Chains A and B, each alone.
Chain A
Amino acid sequence: MIAALVAIGAPVLAALASIGRLTRFAVTALSRLLQPPWYPAQLAQQMLVIGWLSLPVVGLTAIFTGSALAQQIFIGGSRFNAASTVPAVTVIGVVRELGPVLGGLMVAGRVASAMAAELGTMRVTEQIDALVTLRTDPFRWLVAPRILAAVLVMPFLVLVSNALGVMGGWLLATQRLGFNSAQYLATTQRYLEVDDVVSSLVKAGVFGFFIALMGCYHGYHSGGGAAGVGRATTNAVVSSFILILLSNLIITVIVFGS
């Protein structure tokens, strides 16, 4: 009986301790955003790395997915005479779900891994200790600018993702499925609501926070040489994927559930 309790209790306690450590890390990082010194050059550099350099991968993902979605809606809709719903369902599907989620996952794959690898390498080569001995708070210099940059640029990336996703659907529908361009765009505009865009941007900000938080947390706490940095990178990507999907579900239920 006691052995069974231990078997259940040990992983539960470990999970609670991990949540506590992560929460403390996030609170520390956020508190550094509220008081100087700030490092605007670090913030600008991270905005460039996370935002500008992620545009190609996010854009391509959106175009291909938007096109594939339009094709599938057309095929599925044709079965019950609803092929004309392609523009409406495409824009709702892209803006509410696929744009932010796929954009978030692509940025997580690119950015969370890079952050974990960079901070992990800095940890194992004692660069983070060196920062401390040079009277620079690693949370201010490394973590806070990354989190703020990700939260600021993700909505912009998702806006681009949404626009390109809808454009991908429009391209396929007008070039391959025989839709009239003006009618397609008019229907798209009619079915797109402000709530759709707002929820999309809110999701983007939340995803940006989790991507940077996971990248920084796992990198900052990495150890054990090259293998430890590798583990930190994997954990950063996996955990940010899970948090993106979980928070997406929660936001979707809150905004659209009623």
Chain B
Amino acid sequence: MIPRIELTGVSKRFGSRQVLDGLDVAVMPGESLVIIGGSGTGKSVTLKCILGLIPIDGGSIKVDGQEVAGLKGAALDAHRTRFGMLFQGGALFDSLPVWRNISFALSGTPADRRSAAIDNLARVGLAAEVADLKPAELSGGMQKRVALARAIAARPPIIFFDEPTAGLDPITAAVINRLIRTLVTDLKITAITITHDMASVRLIADRVAMLHAGKIIWNGPLAGLDACDNAYVRQFITGSADGPIQMPGARP
């Protein structure tokens, strides 16, 4: 079977800093991959490279077997129609009400788009009354749900979740995690999630990959995570300060 997304030898440098250094990873159709790794290891950069928001320096990115690195213009626009994205901070448009945020990429009359927005609000557990509020009038958890509704509104076959529970309390985070799992399963979406939150990993992932120093250093099914003997993965999942992973800028 052809992977839905396949990255081979992807590299990306910002100035003197090599963020991605020969990254190899693949996601099969309908699979939910969670990428874990410390801050600044290039997780968000990986997603932005796949979306064509950041050009790569080398390697290959294939979606449904088609090379997408270097696409421009209409071909890049067509490539992006396959994706939805939940940004870390929600990235809702402040100047637009909730319903226009959700239906931003939808076509049709305003009444149709508003109706579609309300349907998607219901999917993420929010009432129709929220539709006319501005993002600034919502709590952090509600903003994440609205952003989730926007990500799924056009029913893309692939969705990226960038730190979906960052900044949320544990209960709201659990609700968001469950929503993501339900949406991924019900809508048969291929998903890549990046997170530090191990509760998210255990609820969302079919498979887990760990990114460190610009490379995937471990990749396996969720069931194999706890039995993994990779020292980097062990340190990350136990949240230990002692181990091979050192904080960037820390004294040796």
Contacts and interface: CB of A to CB of B under 8 A. Distances in A.
Interface of A: 122, 125-127, 129-136
A133 B93 contact: no
Contacts of A130: 85, 87, 91-93
Interface stretch (B76-84, B114-122, B207-215, B228-236): B76-84
Given A127-B93, A133-B51, 12 more contacts: A125-B89, A125-B91, A126-B88, A129-B85, A130-B85, A130-B91, A130-B92, A133-B53, A134-B104, A134-B105, A135-B77, A135-B80
A153 B135 CA distance: 30
A63 B188 CA distance: 66
Most chain-B CB neighbours within 10 Å: which of A126, A129, A130? A130
Interface of B: 48, 51, 53, 77, 80-81, 83-85, 87-89, 91-94, 104-105, 150
Nearest to A130: B91
Contacts of B92: 127, 130
Contacts of A122: 93
Contacts of A129: 48, 53, 85, 87, 91
Main DSSP-derived SS at the B contact region: loop
22 contacts: A122-B93, A126-B87, A126-B88, A127-B91, A127-B94, A129-B48, A129-B53, A129-B85, A129-B87, A130-B87, A130-B91, A130-B92, A130-B93, A131-B93, A132-B51, A132-B53, A133-B53, A133-B83, A134-B105, A135-B77, A135-B81, A135-B105
A136 B103 CA distance: 13
A136 B104 contact: yes
Nearest to B104: A134
B105 A136 contact: yes
A133 B104 CA distance: 11
B89 A133 contact: no
Contact of B85 (A125, A133, A136): A133
A17 to B, nearest CB: 15
Main DSSP-derived SS at the A contact region: helix
A133 B87 CA distance: 10
The 6 closest A-B pairs by CB, nearest first: A130-B91, A134-B105, A126-B91, A133-B85, A126-B87, A127-B91
Contacts of B150: 134
Contacts of A131: 93
A126 B150 CA distance: 15
A230 to B, nearest CB: 18
A135 B51 CA distance: 11
B181 to A, nearest CB: 22
Contacts of B89: 125-126
A110 B95 CA distance: 19
A216 to B, nearest CB: 15
A136 B92 CA distance: 14
A132 B91 CA distance: 12
A126 B85 CA distance: 11
A133 B80 contact: yes
Contacts of B80: 132-133, 135
A134 B82 CA distance: 10
Nearest to A45: B95
A33 B53 CA distance: 23
Contacts of B51: 132-133
Contacts of A133: 51, 53, 80, 83-85
A130 B83 CA distance: 11
A60 B84 CA distance: 49
A134 B53 CA distance: 12
A32 B92 CA distance: 24
Nearest to A128: B91
Contacts of B104: 134, 136
A131 B84 CA distance: 11
A110 B80 CA distance: 36
